[in-house]
Chain A
C-alpha cells in the first residue's frame, strides 16, 4: 500500500537537524571536559635548560627523600601522586605454594606476548622450587567489563595475588577494592590505576618522554620543527609520553612542535599518517619523536617522499627500528626502553614480596628510565639475526638495571631475600 508519499527533502532535513542537535548537546557538554594537551603546551618557557632535566616531585603523601638518589630520580615528574601503600603492614595467609592470577587486557601485541612468555617461564621455575603452586591467566581483549569479570572470577577462586594490566586507570577501582577486602593484593604492570588498594609497578613514561625528547633536542641543537607521533589517543601511556616530549621541547625556545599524529603504535599507520603529513607540510622537519616501535614507518615515509632521514626519538624501539637506526642514523637518535621481561619479573617479585610481608613503602614502584644514544649502544644492543623488517619487541640492552631484585629492596620496608628467577632472555 503506497501510504508513503515521497518526502525526501523533509526527511533529510530531519536527519540533519537531529545530528546537529546531538552534536550541539555534546559540544556544550565538552566544555566541562579537560584538555590536557592545551595545558601541557602552555607550560615552560625558559631557554637555558634545553636538553636537561629538572626534578619535579610527583606529589602525594609518600616520603621519597630517604630513597637512594638514582631511585628517587625515577619518580621525577611521575604523572600521578605517590602515596604510602595500604599493604605496608600486610600479612598474607599463606607464604608458600602461591596461586598467582594474571589479568591482561590485550594479546595481539609483541610486548604483551613477551611479558606473558616471561611470566610463564618464571612461574614454571617457581613451581619447581615450591614458591608458587599455580598460575591463572586471562585476557580481555580490551573489554573493560570482561576484564573486571575475569579479575572477579580470580577473587572467587581465591588466588593469593593478582598481577594485572588493566585497560583503564579508573574503571577497576571497585574490583581492586574487592580484591583488597578479600586479602588479595593486586599489582599492576605499566598501567597505573588510581585505586589506593593497588601497587603499581610502573614505568615513568613522562620521564621517558622527557629523556628521549631532551636527547633529540641535544642532537638538533635546540633548533627546528619537530613532529610527534603518538600511540593511541586516550591511552594513559601515550598521553603521558606526549606530555614528556612537550615538557622537554618546552625548554627549548628554538624547537617548535609542528604537529602530532595518532600512529596507534603501528608501523603501517604511522607510515601512512607521516606520508600524509609530509605531503601537506613541505617545510623542513628537524626531528620526529614517537611513542615506541614506529621508527621504521617514519623512516620509510621520509624516504618515499624523497627526504633525508631526520633525527629520531623512540620511546621503546622494536628490533627492526634499531637495525634501521644503525644503518641510517647511528649517531642521531635517542631511545628509551620499557622491557617486558624485566617488568614482569619486577611485578612478580613485588607480588611475592608483598605476600611475604616485606611491606611495600609506596603505592607506586616506579622504574628509572634510561636514555640511550650513540653508535656504541646500538652495537651492544642489536643481536645477530635481527632484521630491519622485524617488528618484534627488542629485549632491554645488556646491563639495563630496570627494577632489578637488588633495586626492588629499596621500595620495601623489611626487605628480605627473594626467590631466584631464571636468567633474562
Chain B
C-alpha cells in the first residue's frame, strides 16, 4: 500500500521537502523563538544569500561540459562591495537605479565566465577559478576594509511586513523563480538542458552551443548579482572577504538538490531546498551548541549521503545494465 510513497520519497526533491520540514520542527523545538515574526525575517535574511548563490550555480551546471561556477561567491561579494564602495559613494542610493546596476554587474561577471568557457574554450572549473581569484582580489582593491553605509533600500529589503512573517527579501528568490519559469516557458531552459545533456546531439541538431552556454553563465551571473543584493541587505554594509565562502555552499546545495553535476538534469527547486536544508542544519547545530568545526564535518557527511541516495539506480536507464561488463 505504501509502495507509492516509497517511490515518491526516492525523488530528491521529495526527500528534501521531508528533510526541511523535519529540520524546521527540530529547530523550533530547540529554540521556540524561531517562529516569532521578527525572527522569521531574520532567518530569511540569513538564508537569502545562500539560497540565491545556490540558484546562481544552477545554470552553469545544467549547461554541462563540466560546467561549474566557482566564482559565484566572490561575484556576490564583489556586487556587495561595489554597492557600498562605489554606488553609495557616488550617491547612487535609489533602489530603481542601484538594484539594476547590481544585477547588471552580476550579468557582466557571468558573461565573462561564459565567454571564457564557450568561446575561450577553457575548462569551466579553471576559468571560474580564475575569475574567483580576480574578483576576490578586486573586492579588496575596491574596499580594503569592511565598511558600513549601504543604501537605504538594503535595510528595506532586510525588513519584513505583516509582523515579520513576510520578509521583503523573499522578493529576490521569488524574482529568480519567476524569471526561470518564464525562460522555461519560452523554451530557453530546454536548450540549456539539451546542451548539458549531450552537446554533440545539440550541436548537430543546429543548436548554437556556445551562445547557449554563454547565456547560461550570464543568467547565473544575474542570479549572483541578486545574491549580492541579499548579502548587502543581510549585513547592511560591505565586507571584501564575505563572499568567498558562499561558493562551496552553493555547489553543495546544487548537488544536494539532486542536479546532476555532469549537466542536463535538474531544476531550480531542488537546489533551493538544498540551500534551505543546509541552512537549517547549520542553525540546528548552532542551537545545539555543536562546534563550528564539526559543522563542516556534518556538512560533508550529509552531502555524501545525499549524493549516494541521488545516484541510486533509476529504472530502465540503459547504461546501468552494461556498466559491469566493460572488463
Contact = CB atoms under 8 A, between A and B. Distances in A.
12 contacts: A15-B127, A22-B109, A23-B134, A29-B138, A137-B289, A139-B291, A145-B246, A150-B286, A152-B46, A157-B287, A234-B140, A234-B145
Interface residues of A, number: 61
Interface string B231-263: 000111111111001100000000000000000
Interface stretch (A174-182, A324-332, A361-369, A391-399): A174-182
B90 A32 contact: yes
Interface stretch (A1-9, A216-224, A299-307, A407-415): A1-9
Interface string A15-40: 10011011101110110111110000
A141 interface: yes
B200 interface: yes
Contact of B45 (A19, A155, A174): A174
Interface size class of B (residues with CB under 8 A): 35 or more
Interface string B54-90: 0000000000000000000000001000100110011
Interface of B: 30-34, 38-39, 42-43, 45-46, 49-50, 78, 82, 85-86, 89-90, 108-109, 112, 115-116, 119-122, 127, 130-131, 134-135, 138, 140-148, 155, 158, 200, 203-204, 234-242, 245-246, 279, 282-283, 286-287, 289, 291-293, 295
Contact of A168 (B134, B203, B237): B237
A420 interface: no
Given A153-B31, A173-B235, A33 B144 contact: yes
A239 interface: yes
Contacts of B90: 32
A157 B33 contact: yes
Interface in A121-154: 136-146, 148-150, 152-153
A317 B146 CA distance: 26
Contacts of A239: 144-145
A96 B286 CA distance: 25
Given A32-B142, A153-B31, A168-B146, A144 B282 contact: no
B86 A32 contact: yes
Given A29-B86, A33-B141, A173-B148, A178 B38 contact: yes
B237 A1 contact: no
A interface majority secondary structure: helix
Nearest to A17: B115
Given A145-B49, A155-B42, 19 more contacts: A11-B122, A14-B116, A22-B134, A29-B82, A33-B144, A34-B144, A141-B292, A146-B295, A148-B46, A152-B283, A157-B287, A168-B242, A170-B146, A171-B235, A174-B158, A174-B235, A174-B236, A234-B146, A236-B145
Contacts, number: 184
B228 to A, nearest CB: 13
B235 A168 contact: yes
Contacts of A143: 245, 292
B138 to A, nearest CB: 4
A15 B292 CA distance: 39
Nearest to A172: B235
A156 B39 contact: yes
A19 B34 contact: no
A20 to B, nearest CB: 10
A404 interface: no
B245 A145 contact: yes
A194 interface: yes
A136 B289 contact: yes
A88 interface: no
A292 B124 CA distance: 42
B144 A233 contact: yes
Nearest to B279: A149
A148 B46 CA distance: 8
A174 B156 CA distance: 12
A253 to B, nearest CB: 28
A234 B241 contact: yes
Interface string A360-391: 00000000000000000000000000000000
B293 A139 contact: yes
A14 B292 contact: no
Interface string A171-201: 1111100100110000000000010000000
A47 interface: no
A239 to B, nearest CB: 6
B149 to A, nearest CB: 8
A284 interface: no
